[in-house]
């Protein structure tokens, strides 16, 4: 593919990665990756271990700088020049593979810190809790069904509850794009299906990119699937479409 | 809603208030009275309170933001030097060489004019501002480079240690202009009041107590604010905090700078009560001792840090007087004891001994 030309036209792609490369000690974790995601889309990214899924997220969120290529946000912003906090402030939220919440804070404070609000030291230092803020916290707690654990220390939550709390924190940020890394890891089947429903309900209003291993979960998402292999896109389409392809079966599904 | 003054802080401040009122009163009792407090003990107690303030400063950045500074002694010493420079200028023509402009050590070194960085220190207000501004500025610049480059954990601790060691070496040099090996001493008075007068000593002691209480309240206000919660968030899950949009380095620089200014204030109050400041205050071991105070008292509690400092310093005074060879072993032993047996320090021990509070009804799963 000619650099600079990608499948989707610029004006619909909310996020668009163009020929991104990144190597670590000679190993090409991302190798000419190009990807376009439309506003409001729900997209699943699958691929075997080492396909570059997490590195891709690191590049989008400003944690890792690519060696080559561009990451364009809303057609005009190059994300590769912005740090993590800057990317987050643009409206890109990220959920880690391992649930990462603030263990010593209460469930409520976890959400409160995530709420969309000024992030500078001094506005935050002089921030006073308002009734409006409490209402918003309650709203998100209701949505992730942790209202009854409001005052509980986050360290005491179960693994699944921490996953949900982190998703709640992500929602509280009111991001335009959510990057979700293996949300179903460690969840029961019922929780997995509930999580799929939650993510589907978020999409449309917001863009959601899910990295996932669990095929049942991806099937439940019922969305466009991108298969990564050796740091670039191997196939893209519906799950049925990609899982019928010989090369995809060979590198991933057939094992 | 978290209250500014909780039970622990309330008890501590009440005790501090009682001591601040009663100790000066006790010095006025006749020396035959059993309750008489010899007036030479007042500056000693003031010195202890300076250490407590220094411990609170370290606890603010280590206990809450996870920044383990092994160089807080440097900020303390810089604050002390700023005040010491003023006290030197205030000696004026009463020095050994009776030079109205130059402190004795400069005359001794054959200097003919005051170095530029001594300008302004003849004014008390300027020295007081510098006692906060110099440590604050150093911490801001140092922190800005370190945190922006994402230096953290043990690497940050090592470079803070290197910072204080470098300052130690620099201040030892005569040509630095700070009195070299001997430091600054032979102070006469402050704002016209004789430093050896009991009333001045009491005033300095009371002032130190007020500064300690004020800084504890300020530190407490910071830690219970939303920014304080962000600091704890940085300590516990730094990358999560970044991905929420908080610039971690700004928060770290902020708390490091505030902490360094508190340490500078402690140093500025220390010097007039102790009567000397020399490069030994920059010794790396001093900074490590502060960490032991905070660890022993209980990091992340503020009150614990102050209590830890008072306990260890009192122990040090007693041990160095009765068993001078044992002190460093005792200090090392204490650190090992705290690390192995009291991870939350003395306050953690108190919490463990208290019966557990019943959980509020809201925490019962619905």
pLDDT digits (tens, 9 = 90+) for B84-105: 999 999 998 888 888 888 999 9
Domain that holds residue B179: 42-282
Contacts of A143 (CB under 8 A, 6+ apart): A168, A171
In a domain, A168, yes or no: yes
pLDDT digits (tens, 9 = 90+) for A181-216: 988 887 888 888 888 998 999 898 899 999 988 888
Residue B263 near chain A (CB below 8 Å): no
pLDDT score of A6: 46
Residue A104 near chain B (CB below 8 Å): yes
Residue B359 near chain A (CB below 8 Å): no
Say whether B247 and A125 touch across the interface (CB within 8 A).
no
**Number of CB atoms found within 10 A of residue A215's CB:** 14
Q: Kindly tell me if the per-residue pLDDT of A11 is higher than 80.
A: no
In a domain, A38, yes or no: no
pLDDT digits (tens, 9 = 90+) for B209-227: 999 999 999 999 999 999 9
**What is the mean pLDDT of the segment spanning B56-83?**
96
**What is the mean pLDDT of the segment spanning A51-70?**
91
The larger pLDDT score, comparing residue A6 to residue B188, is at B188
pLDDT score of B116: 94
Q: In Å, how far is B239's CA from the nearest CA of chain A?
A: 9
From chain A, the residues in CB contact with B230 under 8 A are 113, 124
What average pLDDT does the structure give for chain B? 92
Identify the band that residue B306 occupies on the pLDDT scale cut at 50, 70 and 90.
very high
Q: Kindly tell me if the per-residue pLDDT of A125 is higher than 60.
A: yes
In a domain, B20, yes or no: no
Say whether B239 and A125 touch across the interface (CB within 8 A).
no
Q: In Å, how far is A83's CA from the nearest CA of chain B?
A: 9
In a domain, B161, yes or no: yes
**Number of CB atoms found within 10 A of residue B355's CB:** 5
Q: What are phi and psi of B213, to 5 degrees?
A: -60, -45
In a domain, B148, yes or no: yes
Residue B112 near chain A (CB below 8 Å): no
Extract the tokens encoding A44: 């699943």
Residue A178: which of A159, A141, A203 has the closest Cα? A203
Calpha distance A175→B353 (Å, rounded)? 46
pLDDT digits (tens, 9 = 90+) for B139-189: 999 999 999 999 888 999 999 999 999 999 999 999 899 999 999 999 999
Closest residue on chain B to A88 (Cα): B245
* Residue B181 CA: distances (Å) to CA of B72, B96, B276: 20, 18, 12
Closest residue on chain A to B1 (Cα): A129
In a domain, B294, yes or no: no
* Residue B280 CA: distances (Å) to CA of A36, A173, B73, B79, B283: 62, 50, 10, 14, 5
pLDDT score of A12: 65
pLDDT score of A156: 94
- As for how many domains chain B has, the answer is 1
| C-alpha B10 chain-centroid distance | 21
End-to-end, the C-alpha distance of chain B in Å comes to 23
In a domain, A145, yes or no: yes
Sheet strands (E) in chain B: 184-185, 189-190, 193-194, 276-277
- As for how many domains chain A has, the answer is 1
Residue A173 near chain B (CB below 8 Å): yes
pLDDT digits (tens, 9 = 90+) for B240-249: 999 999 999 9
Domain that holds residue A138: 97-174
pLDDT digits (tens, 9 = 90+) for A235-246: 899 988 988 888
Q: Give which of B1, B150, B245 to mutate to test A binding, by max A Cβ within 10 Å.
A: B245
Q: What percent of chain B has pLDDT over 90?
A: 75
Contacts of B194 (CB under 8 A, 6+ apart): B188, B200
Residues in B 189-228 with any Cβ partner in A closer than 8 A: 222, 225-227
């Amino acid at each position: 593919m000619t650099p600079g030309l990608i499948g989707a036209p610029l004006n619909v792609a909310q996020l668009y990665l163009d020929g991104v490369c990144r190597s670590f000690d000679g190993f090409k974790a991302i190798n000419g990756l190009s990807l376009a995601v439309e506003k409001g889309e729900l997209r699943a990214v699958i691929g075997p271990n080492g396909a570059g899924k997490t590195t891709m997220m690191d590049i989008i969120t400003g944690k890792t700088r690519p060696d080559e290529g561009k990451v364009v946000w809303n057609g005009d912003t190059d994300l590769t020049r912005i740090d993590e906090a800057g990317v987050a402030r643009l409206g890109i939220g990220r959920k880690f593979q391992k649930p990462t919440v603030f263990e010593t804070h209460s469930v409520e404070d976890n959400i409160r810190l995530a709420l969309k609000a000024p992030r500078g030291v001094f506005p935050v230092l002089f921030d006073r809790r308002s009734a409006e803020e409490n209402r918003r916290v309650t709203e998100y707690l209701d949505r992730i069904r942790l209202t009854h654990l409001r005052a509980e220390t986050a360290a005491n939550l179960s693994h699944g509850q921490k996953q949900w709390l982190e998703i709640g924190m992500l929602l509280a940020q009111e991001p335009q794009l959510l990057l979700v890394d293996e949300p179903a890891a460690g969840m029961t089947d019922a929780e997995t299906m509930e999580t799929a429903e939650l993510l589907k309900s978020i999409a449309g209003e917001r863009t959601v990119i899910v990295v996932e291993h669990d095929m049942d979960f991806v099937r439940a998402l019922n969305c466009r699937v991108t298969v990564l292999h050796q740091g670039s896109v191997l196939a893209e389409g519906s799950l049925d479409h990609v899982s019928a392809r010989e090369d995809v079966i060979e590198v991933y599904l057939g094992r | 809603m978290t209250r500014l003054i909780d039970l622990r802080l309330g008890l501590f401040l009440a005790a501090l208030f009682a001591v601040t009122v009663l100790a000066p009163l006790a010095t006025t009792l006749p020396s035959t009275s059993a309750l008489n407090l010899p007036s030479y003990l007042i500056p000693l107690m003031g010195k202890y309170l300076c250490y407590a303030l220094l411990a609170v400063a370290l606890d603010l950045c280590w206990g809450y933001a996870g920044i383990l500074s092994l160089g807080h002694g440097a900020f303390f010493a810089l604050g002390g030097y700023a005040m010491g420079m003023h006290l030197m200028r205030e000696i004026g023509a009463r020095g050994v060489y009776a030079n109205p402009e130059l402190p004795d050590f400069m005359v001794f070194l054959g200097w003919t004019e005051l170095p530029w960085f001594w300008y302004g220190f003849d004014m008390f207000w300027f020295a007081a501002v510098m006692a906060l501004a110099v440590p604050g500025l150093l911490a801001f610049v140092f922190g800005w480079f370190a945190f922006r480059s994402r230096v953290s954990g043990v690497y940050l601790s090592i470079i803070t240690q290197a910072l204080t060691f470098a300052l130690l070496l620099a201040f030892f040099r005569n040509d630095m202009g700070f009195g070299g090996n001997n430091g600054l001493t032979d102070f006469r008075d402050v704002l016209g009041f004789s430093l050896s007068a009991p009333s001045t000593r009491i005033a300095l002691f009371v002032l130190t107590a007020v500064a300690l209480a004020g800084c504890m309240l300020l530190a407490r206000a910071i830690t219970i604010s939303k920014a304080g919660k962000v600091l704890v968030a940085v300590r516990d899950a730094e990358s999560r905090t970044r991905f929420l949009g908080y610039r971690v380095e700004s928060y770290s620089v902020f708390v490091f700078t505030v902490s360094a200014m508190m340490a500078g204030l402690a140093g500025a109050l220390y010097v007039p009560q102790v009567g000397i400041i020399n490069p030994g205050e920059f010794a790396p071991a001093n900074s490590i001792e502060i960490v032991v105070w905070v660890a022993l008292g209980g990091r992340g509690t503020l009150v614990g840090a102050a209590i830890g400092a008072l306990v260890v310093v009192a122990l040090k005074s007693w041990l160095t007087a009765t068993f001078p060879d044992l002190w460093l072993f005792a200090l090392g032993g204490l650190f090992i004891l705290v690390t192995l047996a009291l991870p939350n320090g003395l306050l953690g021990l108190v919490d463990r001994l208290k019966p557990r509070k019943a959980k509020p009804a809201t925490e019962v799963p619905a």
